[in-house]
Chains A and B, each alone.
Chain A
Amino acid sequence: MKKECTRCNDHRNSPELYRGSRTILLAMKITTILLFVTCLQVGAKGYSQKVSLNERKGSFEKVLQQIEKQSGYVFWYEDRLLLKANPVDITVKNVPLEEALETVFRDQPLGYVIIGKTIALKEKQPVKAIPELPPPPITITGRVLTKDGEKPLPGVTILIKGKVTGTLTNADGYYSLQVAITDKALLFSCIGMKKQEVLINGRTEINVTMEEEVSALNELQVVGYGVTSKRLNTGSVSSINSVDLAKQTITNPLTALQGHIAGMQITQDNGLPGGGVRVNIRGASSGFSQAGFVPLYVIDGVPFTLFNGGSPTSDNLNAWGTSGANGNLSPFSMINAEDIERIDILKDGDATAIYGSRGSNGVVLVTTKKGKRGKTAFNFNVYNGTGTVNHYIPMMNTQQYLAMRTAAFGNAGTTPTTANAKDLTVWDQNAYTNWQKWAIGGTSHITNATFAVSGGDVQNTFLFSSTYRKEGTVFPGSYNNTTFSSRLNAGHKTLNDKFSINLSINYAFMGNNLPSYDLSQLYNLPPNYPLNNADGTANWTLTNPASYFLKKYNSQTTNLISNLYLVYKLLPGLNLKANLGYSLTRLHQTSTNPASSQNPATASAATNRLTYTDNDNGNYIIEPQIEYLKTIGKGKLLALIGSTFQQNKSTGVYLNGVGYSNEALINSLLAASSITISYNNNSLYKYTALFGKATYNWDNKYILDGTFRRDGSSRFGESNRFGNFGALGVAWLFSQEAFMKNIKFLSYGKLRGSYGLTGNDQIMNYQYYASYSVAGSSSSYQGNSVAYPSNIANPNLQWETTKKLDFALELGFLKDRVLLKADYYRNRSSNQLTYISVPSQTGTSSYLGNLPAVIQNAGMEFELNTINFSSKDFKWTTSINLTINRNKLISYPGLATSSNSTSYFIGFPTDLIQLYHYTGVDPQTGLPTFKTVTGTPNYNTDRIKAPIGHPYYGGISNSLTYKNFTFDFTFQYVHRNGYLNNTLAMNYSPYGYAYTNQSTAILNRWTAIGDKAFYPAASTNSNSLYSTLASSDYNWGDASYFKFKTASLNYSIPKQWVNKLKLSEATIYLQGQNLFTSAKQKYTYDPETTQPGTGSGLGTGQYVALPQLRTIVIGLNVTF
Chain B
Amino acid sequence: MKLKYINVRFIKVAFFVLFAIIVTSCKKYVDIPIAPNKIANADVYKTDASATSAVLSMYSYSYMNTSIGYFTYLGGLASDELQTTSSDAALQEFAQSAVTTTNSYVTNYLWAYPYLLIRWSNLAIDGITNSTTLTPAIKSQLLGEAKFFRAFIYFHVVNYIGNVPLELIPIPSSNKSQSSPADVWKQIISDLKDAESLLPSAYAGIAAQRGRVNKYAAAALLARAYLYTKDYANAETESSNVIGATDITYSLAPLANAFISTSPETILQFSTLYGYSTFGSAFRTSSSANNVAPPSYVLYPGFSSSFEAGDQRKIAWVDSTTYNAKKYYRINKYKLNTATAGNENSVILRLAEQYLIRAEARAQINTNLAGAQSDLNKVRNRAGLANTTATIQTTLLTAIANERKVELFGEFSHRWFDLVRTGQANTVIGALKPATWKSTAVLMPVPYDQILLNTNLIQNTGY
By a beta-carbon cutoff of 8 Å, the part of chain A in contact with chain B is 83, 570-571, 574, 604, 624, 626, 643, 645, 680-688, 690, 710, 712-714, 721-722, 765-766, 769-775, 778-790, 792-793, 837-845, 897, 899
Contact = CB atoms under 8 A, between A and B. Distances in A.
A937 to B, nearest CB: 14
B7 A774 contact: no
21 contacts: A83-B3, A571-B11, A681-B37, A687-B30, A688-B25, A690-B26, A712-B29, A769-B34, A769-B40, A782-B205, A782-B206, A786-B57, A786-B59, A787-B54, A840-B450, A841-B167, A841-B450, A843-B167, A843-B172, A845-B112, A899-B449
A781 B30 contact: no
B57 A789 contact: yes
A772 B27 contact: no
Given A624-B18, A688-B30, A784-B56, A682 B36 contact: yes
A793 B64 contact: no
B421 interface: no
Contacts of A685: 32
A323 to B, nearest CB: 23
A645 B18 CA distance: 14
A39 B117 CA distance: 92
Interface in B1-21: 3-4, 7, 11, 15, 18
A616 B27 CA distance: 27
B115 A766 contact: no
A680 B32 contact: no
B44 to A, nearest CB: 5
Interface residues of B, number: 70
Given A690-B22, A788-B60, 15 more contacts: A712-B29, A714-B31, A714-B32, A721-B27, A772-B40, A782-B56, A787-B39, A787-B57, A789-B54, A789-B57, A842-B174, A843-B118, A843-B119, A843-B172, A897-B452
A744 to B, nearest CB: 49
Interface of B: 3-4, 7, 11, 15, 18, 22-23, 25-27, 29-41, 44, 50, 52-54, 56-57, 59-61, 64, 107, 111-112, 115-120, 122-123, 164-165, 167, 171-176, 205-206, 209, 211-212, 271, 273, 288, 447, 449-450, 452-454, 457
Contacts, number: 179
Contacts of B209: 782
Q: Top 6 closest A-B pairs, CB basis? A: A843-B119, A840-B112, A839-B454, A786-B57, A787-B53, A781-B56
Contacts of A690: 22-23, 26
B35 A841 contact: no
B52 A784 contact: yes
A645 B29 contact: yes
A784 B30 contact: no
Contact of B53 (A712, A784, A840): A784
Contact of B38 (A604, A643, A774, A843): A774
Nearest to A897: B452
Q: Which of B54, B60, B175, B211 has the most CB of A within 10 A?
A: B60
A626 B34 contact: no
Contacts of B50: 772, 787
A680 B37 contact: yes
Contact of B35 (A766, A782, A899): A766
A779 B60 contact: yes
A897 B52 CA distance: 39
Contact of A841 (B54, B171, B172): B172
A1077 to B, nearest CB: 43
B15 A784 contact: no
Given A690-B26, A773-B38, A780-B273, A839 B61 contact: no
A840 B164 CA distance: 12
Contacts of A790: 38
Nearest to B206: A782
A574 B4 CA distance: 14
B37 A682 contact: yes
B39 A772 contact: yes
A766 B111 contact: no
A110 to B, nearest CB: 15
Nearest to B50: A787
B217 to A, nearest CB: 15
A714 B29 CA distance: 9
A690 B30 CA distance: 13
A770 B41 contact: yes
B24 to A, nearest CB: 11
B176 A787 contact: no
B3 A713 contact: no
A789 B119 contact: yes
Nearest to B120: A789
A772 B30 contact: no
Contacts of B15: 626
Given A687-B30, A712-B27, A844 B60 contact: no
Q: Which of B7, B52, B56, B172 has the most CB of A within 10 A?
A: B56
A768 to B, nearest CB: 11
B450 A787 contact: no
Contact of A780 (B26, B60, B122): B60
Q: Which of A721, A788, A843 has the most CB of B within 10 A?
A: A843
B291 to A, nearest CB: 16
Q: Which of A712, A790, A899 has the most CB of B within 10 A?
A: A712
A687 B172 CA distance: 32
A690 B3 CA distance: 31
A841 B273 contact: no
Nearest to B22: A643
Given A574-B11, A839-B450, A844 B119 contact: yes
Contacts of B61: 788
Contact of A840 (B18, B64, B111): B111
Contacts of B59: 781, 786
A604 B288 CA distance: 9
A87 to B, nearest CB: 12
B179 to A, nearest CB: 11
Nearest to B205: A782
Q: Which of B18, B38, B122, B165 has the most CB of A within 10 A?
A: B38
B231 to A, nearest CB: 27
B173 to A, nearest CB: 8
Nearest to A574: B11
B30 A714 contact: yes
A837 B112 CA distance: 12
A784 B205 contact: yes
Q: Which of A713, A769, A786 has the most CB of B within 10 A?
A: A786
A683 B31 contact: no
Q: Which of A626, A766, A781, A792 has the most CB of B within 10 A?
A: A781
B174 A686 contact: no
Contacts of B447: 840
Q: Which of B15, B30, B52, B167 has the most CB of A within 10 A?
A: B30
A771 B119 CA distance: 13
A684 B35 contact: yes
A46 to B, nearest CB: 37
B101 to A, nearest CB: 14
B29 A688 contact: yes
Contacts of B4: 83
A841 B30 contact: no
Given A841-B172, A843-B116, A683 B54 contact: no
Nearest to A713: B30
Given A684-B33, A714-B32, A781-B59, A772 B172 contact: no
A686 B41 contact: no
A786 B171 CA distance: 21
Contact of B41 (A682, A687, A793, A838): A793
Nearest to A658: B340
A686 B120 contact: no
Nearest to B118: A843
Contacts of B39: 771-772, 774, 787
Contacts of A624: 18
Contacts of A771: 34-35, 38-41
A798 to B, nearest CB: 13
Nearest to B61: A788
Nearest to B122: A843
